[in-house]
Structure formats: structure tokens, C-alpha cells
Amino acid sequence: MALLNIINLRTQFPSQDGMVKAVDTVDLLVADGERLGLIGETGCGKTVLGMSIVRLLQPATRIEGKINYKGRDILKLKEEDMRRLRGKEIAIILQNPTTSLNPVLKVGDQIAEAVRLHQGLGKLEANARVIEMLQSAHLPDAAANSDQYPHELSGGMRERVMIAMGLACNPEFIIADEPTKGLDIKTKMQIVELLREATLHKAMLMITHDLGVAGSICDKIAVMYAGELLEEAPSQDILNDSAHPYTQGFINSLPSRGLLPIPGTSPSLICPPSGCRFHPRCRMATKTCEKKHPEMIRIEKGHLVRCHQFN
């Protein structure tokens, strides 16, 4: 059963150079209990898509399409209803805890605030819940560290605090935005294991540029490029039998696959290329790719791709 169904989503916001088409006609479905990885290069629109779901974008942003959560269109909810939904049923674990956590509040107080708001707990009950969540996030000496300010904790510890905060109200759907960014290998693997454990039987959208992390946690992976999806399939199909040239290049850029970079640079989201947006960097591009924009098509059960070579 679909928990989240995104239909024809377009998210744009103004800049000095024109309208940024950060998310451009995206369809995406997350089933109940499914963990979906959204991967792509920096600046492709992944984070904006996640923030569109929870409606945490600047007021000038224009969002069109539908974001159906349990059959209700999130984009049509009043802000008061959205605040009740955000944090309680849909939680977002923001990237970069250094800037996401309030520097002048102790981390335990920040988690307790969310718990008291959404679960109606008293101060003592909320504090007990905070310690319980920090312990479940494997934060060392949870009681003592809950009394610390963010700058007093290491990067890995701050990430654990963010995960504990996101899970504190037992949400049904979790958006994790670059949860392993900037962490050393050992800490990254600990966070990956924590997320795998914490999201068991929960639905999650994991936003990351780290294909290895997505592949180790997620049931399905969607590949984003220049504001749109290029491929979507079960994780093992993406890792071992990807169809789109961009996905193949992304995989080959991994250290374990040869560290071969994709030539060229990501296009502008203000004025993307005509035709296929990847064609200026694609080794298989034809004249058709330069002129005609490809549709997303199904090449086998559960495997979708946007590429003219499959038409």
C-alpha cells in the first residue's frame, strides 16, 4: 500500500538569474514500510524534494503537483494541520547537525521540546523519553550528553542526536537528508547500522549522494539528475544491472568500481539542456537525445528508466 505518492511535483524558487527548477515533474511512490534511497550529485534537487514533502521551503517557493500522504494531499493542508503532521507522523533528519541544532539550547532540551509538543508529555516524562531515545541512538553516556550543547559533541554524536530527535515521536515516515555526510568511515558505518536498525518496518526516504550507503539500507533506489528522475529500481538492480548511462557512470565513480569520474559538470537548473538533460555528458548520446526529452518508461517489473535507447 502506498504511504506517500508524489505526482507531477514541480518545485521552483526565484534567484537573481531566474527561476530555479529544482524539482521538475517528479513522480515517486513510497510504500508502507519501504525504504527508498534518492541519490544524485550535489545540486540535483534531492534536498529540495525532501523539503517540499514537509513544506519547509522559503515563502517565495512555488510548489505544484500532488504529494499524497495516506491519501491526503499535503500541499492542500492548512499550516496548522501541517505542523501537527510534521514531526509526529513525518519526521525529517536534517543534514549538517552543526547548523540544524540550536547552538544555545542543550540537545536534550531540543528533543524534549518536540516530544512535549507532539505527544503531550509532562517535563519528567519527556526527559525520560529523551534519555530513552538517545540510548537507542547509541549515544555514549546518554544522560550526561543530553545536558551538553551541540558544540560540545563530536560530529557523529550530533548526528545521533538528530536521529534521536527525528524518531522521538515514533513517526511513520522518515526523511533522512545526507545522514552520513562529512563523517569518517568508522562513524559512517555506525550511523548506517543505526538507521537500518531504527527504520526497520518504517517507511523512509534517504537522500544521499553515497550510493553505497543507500544500497546497504534501502529496498529501492531512485536516481535524480538536474531536477528529474532518470531511473528507479530495486537496490540490487541499480547496483548490479543499472540501465541509464548516468547511473552507470555514477556507480563507476565509486572507489570500489574504479573511481572513474563522469565527464563534464551538472547543468543549470535555471536553464537545463534541451532534450535529455544528461546528453551533454553522455557517451551514448544521439541527435535524438539532443532534441527530444525522453519519457520515463518501464523496462521490466519495478524498473523504470528515462532514456531514448529503451524506446
Domain with CATH 3.40.50.300 in the chain: 2-89+171-310
Cα atoms in the 13 Å half-sphere on the side-chain side of 221: 27
Cell matching residue 23 = 524539482
Per-residue pLDDT reduced to its tens digit, 228-269: 999 999 999 999 999 999 999 999 888 777 778 899 999 999
| Residue 222: all three cell numbers together | 531512485
Percent of the chain at pLDDT > 70 equals 100
Pull the grid cell for residue 70: 495516506
CATH architecture of the domain with range 2-89+171-310: 3-Layer(aba) Sandwich (3.40)
Strands of the chain (E only): list them.
2-15, 18-31, 35-39, 62-69, 72-73, 90-93, 173-177, 203-208, 220-225, 228-234, 297-300, 303-305
- Looking at residue 103, the DSSP 8-state letter turns out to be T
Average pLDDT of every residue of the chain = 93
Nearest-CA neighbor of 294 among 279, 310, 307?
307
- As beta bridge partners, residue 75 has none
**Residue 221 in contact with residue 261, Cβ under 8 Å?**
no
Check whether 88 has a pLDDT greater than 90. no
DSSP structure class, residue 153: S
Per-residue model confidence as pLDDT tens digits over 275-311? 999 999 999 999 999 999 999 999 999 999 999 998 7
**Entry pTM:** 0.93
Q: Compute the residue count for the chain.
A: 311
Comparing CA positions, the residue from 92, 255, 70 lying closest to residue 166 is 92
